[in-house]
Amino acid sequence: MHIAYLTDQLLPQTATDTEYMISTVAAFGKVGAETTLIKPEHWFDPEPGRDDIADYYQVDPTFEVKAVRSVYPNIRGIEKVAQGVAAPLHSVARQADVLYTYTLPILIGALLFGTRPIVYETYRPWPYQQPWSAPFFRWVARHPRFLGAVLHSEHARASYEETGLDPDSLLAARAGYDPDPLSRRLSRSEARDYCGLSDRPTVTYTGRVTMKKGLGLMLEMARALPEVQFVIVGSEGEGEVERRAACLDNVRVVPWQPFDEMTPYLYAADVLLIPPSTTPLKTVGNTVLPMKTFPYMATGRAILAPNSPDLRELLQDGENAALVPPDDSDAAVRRLRSLLDDPDTRERLGAAARADIEDHTWPRRAERILHFIQDRLA
């Protein structure tokens, strides 16, 4: 099977959705699908080749890359629409067995102007977040070239089924993780030495560094627990989080790291934090079952997270994680203090999380999606 994966994103870049995308593309190739990534062409910078992209995202180069020029790619709004037309008309896309995209304008363009069946993947429960979108998705579902949708959570999948889409056309396929960078397990002391961290109790967050990810609540927790070392990994400049953190002696902000360099910060932690805030899921809507959940679990460290419907698909309070009411900083501080005072519970939760996530690798996920595509084609 030849899959043409169409994107409107300039690559490579640090955005989490591009990491998700390239992990998926590489996994398709790893499990036997011929896969071509069709991306916007750079206008002024050197065009990265396949190996450049694979090296940046630390994946095997199991795919090919084609670039298509539409309009000036640095104007995102225009480029998204333009790539929605240009990418499905690329010669490789017109010859592929299946088109695959993470982008709504490309989905629309492929249905209106393309010639091949298409699969749409998204983490967003659009019908929950934007109820006015329900008629649009019903139109998409009726189109003869729409094969189906791959959703990152059961929470998202349910939103489309409740809108009226055929359940057989919807696959909940949660994210995965790459076990290779995690295979060299570090003790806390080894990891802290590597990262230059002190030996104080340590709480770590990795990912996008923005207030939209609930990091304001993490900073509140740091103020309440000055004896604890809070580490935020993923900074790309001087934003509000960085400015607020500079006032706190027990918060260290670390620049964005490639995954193999980020891994020691996971092993250095006593507790890994998904900020217990409703902002990413409900207010901003750009994070559903966050991707960091998977490497967090695979690391085998205790996780403190919000008791939200998406995370409950993987995390169970008291069994493989500590879940707290969202947006309640006092409850979060109390639960974190309890975890830090109880190493036996931390070890038990971390071991259970690692066991529960063992099969959630990117290649296993790709196999499930390929079976879904083959069934839908049939």
pLDDT at 282: 59
* DSSP single-letter state for residue 149: E
Radius of gyration in angstroms for the set of CA atoms belonging to the chain, rounded to a whole number: 21
> For residue range 260-275, what is the model confidence (pLDDT) as tens digits?
999 999 999 999 999 9
CB 291 within 8 A of CB 347: no
C-alpha dihedral, 291 to 294 to 297 to 303, nearest 10°: 10
Regarding whether 208 and 97 lie in a shared domain, the answer is: no
> For residue range 140-161, what is the model confidence (pLDDT) as tens digits?
999 999 999 999 999 999 999 9
**Given a cut of 80, is residue 372 above it in pLDDT?**
yes
Regarding whether 192 and 168 lie in a shared domain, the answer is: no
CB 7 within 8 A of CB 21: yes
The three-state (H, E, C) secondary structure of 237-306, written as one string? CCCHHHHHHCCCCCEEEEECCCHHHHHHHHHCCCEEECCCCCHHHHHHCCCCCCCCHHHHHHHCCEEEEE
pLDDT at 283: 56
Domain that holds residue 220: 180-357
**Amino acid identity for residue 50 in this structure:** R
**Amino acid identity for residue 179 in this structure:** P
Query: Helix or strand or coil: residue 346?
Result: helix
Which pTM does this prediction carry? 0.92
**For the chain, counts of helices (H) and of strands (E):** 16, 13
pLDDT band for position 236 (cuts 50, 70, 90):
very high
Q: Calculate the average pLDDT of the chain.
A: 94
Rounded-to-integer distance, Cα 257 and Cα 204, Å:
14
> DSSP characters for 88-99?
HHSHHHHHSSEE
pLDDT at 284: 47
pLDDT band for position 363 (cuts 50, 70, 90):
very high
> DSSP characters for 314-331?
T--BTTTBEEE-TT-HHH
pLDDT at 88: 96
> For residue range 169-203, what is the model confidence (pLDDT) as tens digits?
999 999 999 998 888 899 999 999 999 999 999 99
Torsions phi, psi of 101, nearest 5?
-150, 155
Tell me the average pLDDT across 19-34. Answer: 97
Regarding whether 125 and 86 lie in a shared domain, the answer is: yes
**Alpha carbon separation from 332 to 144, 178, 201, 336 (Å, rounded):** 49, 30, 16, 6
pLDDT at 289: 85
Regarding whether 370 and 349 lie in a shared domain, the answer is: no
Regarding whether 222 and 205 lie in a shared domain, the answer is: yes
E strand or H helix at 117: none
C-alpha dihedral, 331 to 241 to 281 to 257, nearest 10°: -110
> For residue range 94-120, what is the model confidence (pLDDT) as tens digits?
999 999 999 999 999 999 999 999 999
Take residue 297 and report the two structure tokens written for it.
């679990």
Rounded-to-integer distance, Cα 178 and Cα 14, Å:
17
pLDDT at 73: 64
**Given a cut of 80, is residue 320 above it in pLDDT?**
yes
Regarding whether 336 and 368 lie in a shared domain, the answer is: no
Cβ atoms < 10 Å from Cβ of 136:
15
Regarding whether 214 and 123 lie in a shared domain, the answer is: no
pLDDT band for position 72 (cuts 50, 70, 90):
low
**Given a cut of 60, is residue 295 above it in pLDDT?**
yes
Regarding whether 252 and 168 lie in a shared domain, the answer is: no
Rounded-to-integer distance, Cα 211 and Cα 307, Å:
19
pLDDT at 312: 94
What is the share, in percent, of the chain residues with pLDDT greater than 70?
Answer: 97
Regarding whether 238 and 184 lie in a shared domain, the answer is: yes
Rounded-to-integer distance, Cα 71 and Cα 100, Å:
22
CATH number at residue 130: 3.40.50.2000
Take residue 12 and report the two structure tokens written for it.
């490579």
Regarding whether 185 and 129 lie in a shared domain, the answer is: no
CB 145 within 8 A of CB 94: no
Regarding whether 264 and 216 lie in a shared domain, the answer is: yes
**Given a cut of 60, is residue 209 above it in pLDDT?**
yes
Q: How many domains does the chain have?
A: 2
> For residue range 29-71, what is the model confidence (pLDDT) as tens digits?
999 999 999 999 988 889 999 999 999 999 999 999 999 988 7
Name the residue among 66, 81, 268, 59 with its Cα closest to residue 178: 59
Residue 264: cis peptide before it, omega within 30 degrees of 0: no
**Given a cut of 60, is residue 286 above it in pLDDT?**
no
pLDDT at 79: 81
Regarding whether 228 and 157 lie in a shared domain, the answer is: no
